[in-house]
A and B are shown apart, each in its own frame.
Chain A
Amino acid sequence: MSTAPADGIALGYEPADDAPRREERIWIPAGGCHVVPAVSAALKAALLSAVLDFRPRRDARVVVLGAELEALDARARAAVRAQVAFLPAGGGLISHLNAWENIALPLSYHAPRQMQGVAPRVYALLEPFAGDVRALLAKLPEELSPFEKMLAGYARMMLGAPRLVLAEAPPRSLGPAERRQADEFGAAYLARCPQGTFVRLEDGHDEAGEAG
């Protein structure tokens, strides 16, 4: 395992020396929009578990926003974690809440006082991508198209203004136009959070031949 300095690194993941070959090294500098190609399902699971749940594989080195996770105490880890967001391909929506409730959920849970004036911000976030924002916000997840689900997840992520975004690649079921729009999420994020880092994890294939 390398001893490369963690300063200026937004996301670093180095598997243990005895880890399977599928777990490659990820080392992403802070700032900008990055695409990590061909991420296997195993690596994605290991990375997300390490970064989002603080459960790194044994002996793996994990760097988030310039900090070695292993060296941090629980409070400092929580502070780092609060600045990281994950944008799943399916939006990660809760089925019994409509799109608006889904978008507002984390903010109203963690910072209810910041809820004032949040509706215009949500409209401003969604208008470049959606025609009828009001109709979209009233829909339950089961009524949303795959792109609309991802869009709701994007708006929810943006309200938290994270410093690091881990995004899954858009679902394969999207049409070309929607896919192009989904590709713009990184640029739209950086336009609003210039200091942030957007990392898109492109699906790869596992060694066993399964789709990643």
Chain B
Amino acid sequence: MMVVWTLALNTFREAVRDRVLHSMVFFAVITVCASLVLKDITLGDQDKIVRSIAEGGIDLFASLIGMFLGISIIWKELEKKTIYTILSKPMPRWQFILGKYVGLNLTIWAEIALLSVMYVVLMLFQQDVPSPIFFVSMGLLVVELMLLTAWTTLFSTYSAPTTASAFTISIFIMGHLADDLWLLGSKSDSVFLEQVVHFIYWVVPNFELLSIRDLSVHEREIPWVQVWSAAGYGIVYSVVVLLLAVLLFNRKDIR
């Protein structure tokens, strides 16, 4: 496991020194802070507006960072040929994939932690205390991004960032519209279309299962059964996608 940890730390170190990441985190911070300004120009439950914008901002930027870093996570090593001196060391290839994946997720967790701390400070500034469901919601966001980055890692093992980003965005959108897809298929008159849409529903990840942001914004009770089953689903699904990435990468010739 030392090899995996070494590669993960190196990936994390490389990512946090990336200037594009700095810019994205900067904009994420601005968005979270902007919720304070926006609440003054809106009507209704202003606290809810703050929570909605801030949590939405954390979700959006964490997903963007996950996609941005993930689509080139393996490809960059192949393109820059840094992989030659890494894979010629005594380690199986699955450790390389896992190390890169863990490092990528460490970066995302650090970003989510930073923005969550900012959110808490913002709440305290508003003389409010964040509801416990916010932290559970962030936990599920972490699982959601584990799943998304498992897909980006898979795509990155055999395709360039442009193709990988097209695949990732498709998966991201379909994953968030999975329930609507099912409904669309069920209402279709064509049996073939229904079967195709239902097949897509079962194959693509259902990211909405992993989101309890609405409940968090409205500060509802924590739905523990949903949380645990969704977390289990996300983790098992991520492991399956990573296994697929390892299978593909094991057969790859490093040219």
Q: Please say whether chains A and B are actual partners in one complex.
A: no
